[in-house]
Amino acid sequence: MDAVINRSEQIDARGIRLLQDVFHNRSFALYTKLGFTARTTAAVMQGPPIANDIGDRSVRPATMDDLGVCGALCELTHGHDRNGELRDAIESGGASVVEETSGIAGYTTGIGLVGHAVVRSNEDLKALIAAAPEFTGPGFLLPTGNAELLNWCMGEGLRVEKMMTIMTSGFYQNPTTPYLLSVLY
């Protein structure tokens, strides 16, 4: 971890974010001693695809033309864009956007451990989750502070596989809209 912190300083990164398994007390203590702050917990959610329509929203594959709107939404939510990851997901066919009557309301790079999502409302995030053909890997990372969405997921038959702590060092903006985490970036 010292090497990661040193590398972050060398490249003048604004901050470091990590996900720590809740059950592992020793790693939590280590990261805290190294200056990381626990921000919230996330549940790794897994289960059968939901495949329900959510209101007046539609989900479609993202295109490069969507990059600007999606990047701006991520900037608003997290204080930075994730256009590199989004571009890669668009090129590989894994990114989706959710639209409502006013236009794009959010996006995902995939509903799974290596995908993230940023949306304007819980209804937008429900639409992206419901449209996913599967939840890749062990599942997707849902911040547990979003009780409405957590309860909706469990009501749709999803289960909590494990809990993780989101920890940061340096820059961190408390997210302003609903989101899903990723272990990438």
> What is the CATH code for 2-180?
3.40.630
Distance between CA atoms of residues 27 and 94, nearest Å: 32
Q: How confident is the model at residue 55 (pLDDT cuts 50, 70, 90)?
A: confident
DSSP 112: B
Name the average pLDDT for the chain: 94
DSSP 28: H
What pLDDT digit, counting tens, does each position of 1-17 carry? 889 899 999 999 999 99
Whether 56 shows a pLDDT value over 90: the answer reads no
Residue 171, classed as helix, strand or coil, is: coil
46-68 average pLDDT score: 92
Question: How many contiguous H segments (helices) and E segments (strands) does the chain have?
Answer: 6, 9
- What pLDDT, on a 0 to 100 scale, did the predictor assign at position 52? 79
Q: How confident is the model at residue 184 (pLDDT cuts 50, 70, 90)?
A: confident
- What pLDDT, on a 0 to 100 scale, did the predictor assign at position 62? 97
- What pLDDT, on a 0 to 100 scale, did the predictor assign at position 185? 62
Distance between CA atoms of residues 141 and 138, nearest Å: 10
The proportion of the chain whose per-residue pLDDT surpasses 70, expressed as a percent, equals 99
What pLDDT digit, counting tens, does each position of 33-42 carry? 999 999 999 9
- What pLDDT, on a 0 to 100 scale, did the predictor assign at position 53? 74
Q: How confident is the model at residue 19 (pLDDT cuts 50, 70, 90)?
A: very high
Q: Where are the domains of the chain?
A: 2-180
- What pLDDT, on a 0 to 100 scale, did the predictor assign at position 58? 95
What pLDDT digit, counting tens, does each position of 110-127 carry? 999 999 999 999 999 999
- What pLDDT, on a 0 to 100 scale, did the predictor assign at position 51? 82
